[in-house]
Structures are given as C-alpha cells and as structure tokens.
C-alpha cells in the first residue's frame, strides 16, 4: 500500500497510545501521555540536552523566474501593500490549509498538492497552466507556499509547478527549467516522485504551446 493510500484510508480507530516528548523553544522537555480514558496529561521533564530556536522572521522575499510570474511565501501573500506594489492580480495558492487573504483584491486559485512522491501532479499542472495564463493576460501572477518551522517550505510543490510551467513556455528540459526557477529561489528541489513525473512528461511539456 502506498503512503498516499495509507493517508486516505486513515481512521482514528487505528491510533495507538503513545508518549510524546516535546522540546520547547526555551529548551525544556514536556512529556504528554494519554490515559485509559483518552485524556492527555502533560508533565515537565526538565531541561532538554539540546534546544532549538525556530526562525520566526517574516519571509518577504519574492522572485520572478518567468516574466510576470512570481514566487513567494505565505508572508508575501498576506502583505497587501507588497502585492500591490509588484502589480499582482492573480494568486495561485499551493499552501495547504492557508486561506486566501484578500479575495476582494485578487483572483485566486487553490490547488491542493500533497508533497508525496506518488502524488499524481499532472492534473494539477494542467489546471495551474490555465490559471497562470489567465493571470498573464490580465496582469501578474504570484505562486505562494506556506511558512512553517520545517526547512522544506517552498521547495517541492511550488517548485515543481513552476518548473513544469517554464518547461512548457520556454520549451526547456527539466534540469534547465529547474536552473531557471532556482535563480528566483535557490533551494527549490521537487521530491523524487515529482522529478520523475516531470521528466516523464518532458517531451509533451516542451512541445506543447498555449492554445
């Protein structure tokens, strides 16, 4: 069974009792345990051997890997003044669970893509191409991801989508399109399944022109 099938077939009844150890930003450990009645109880376990310091600084960097097509974070997508200064008219939201901040100011398209190697991204790509082209006919487009404490935000899903779009628009092979996207966001690296699919569709992408 694939990871995607496991996620889709998940049931709360399959949960097992576990002990969770949480390390706070201040360096203390909190142990959470669930009792027989399903009630979660927490206790302070003292100072952890290692602490961490999350990066909570806003990410207002915005790149333009293709003329009038921009890539930016959730922070960018929630900054009305910045969006208007750039001239954004359309926003492609690939940030799972993040609402559209300014529906009265911009045209939005939400695309739910799981960052899993066996996720079929082809239908999502076709949907996004149409929206991006619509946006370019009327103004400028922002593709945005979510901001989180993990290090892969804005690396895989939005990167794969923009690689595919640039492959189609500039008739480039995957690696060449990836190099272009990395000029706007150097850390972009689609997961291995996305890479495999983009290479598989490479011929079709680089020979397909806008209708």
Q: Which residues are catalytic?
A: 148
**One-letter-per-residue 3-state SS of the chain:** CCHHHHHHCCCHHHCCCCEEEEECCCCEEEEEEECCCCCEEEEEEEECCCCCCCCCCCCCCEEEEECCEEEECHHHHCCHHHHHHHCEEEEEECCCCCCCCCCCCCEEEECCCCCCCCCCCHHHHHHHHHHHHHHHHHCEEEEECCCCCCCCCCCCHHHHHHHHHHHHHHCCCHHHHHHHHHHHCCCCCCCHHHHHHHHHCHHHHHHCCCC
């Amino acid at each position: 069974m694939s990871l995607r099938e496991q996620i889709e077939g998940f049931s709360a009844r399959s949960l097992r009792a576990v002990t969770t150890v949480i390390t706070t930003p201040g360096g203390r450990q909190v142990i959470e345990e669930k009792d027989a009645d399903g009630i979660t109880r927490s206790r302070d376990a003292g100072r952890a051997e290692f602490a961490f310091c999350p990066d909570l600084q806003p990410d207002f960097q915005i790149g333009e890997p293709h003329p009038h097509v921009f890539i930016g974070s959730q922070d960018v997508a929630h900054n009305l003044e910045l969006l208007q200064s750039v001239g954004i008219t359309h926003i492609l939201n690939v940030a799972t669970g993040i609402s559209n901040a300014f529906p009265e100011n911009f045209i939005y398209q939400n695309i739910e893509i799981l960052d899993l190697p066996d996720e079929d991204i082809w239908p999502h790509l076709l949907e996004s191409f149409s929206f991006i082209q619509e946006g370019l006919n009327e103004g400028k487009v922002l593709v945005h991801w979510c901001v989180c404490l993990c290090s892969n935000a804005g690396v895989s899903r939005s990167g794969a989508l923009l690689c595919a779009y640039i492959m189609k628009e500039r008739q480039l092979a995957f690696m060449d399109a990836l190099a272009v996207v990395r000029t706007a966001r150097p850390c972009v690296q689609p997961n291995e399944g996305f890479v495999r699919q983009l290479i598989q569709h490479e011929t079709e992408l680089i020979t397909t022109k806008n209708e």
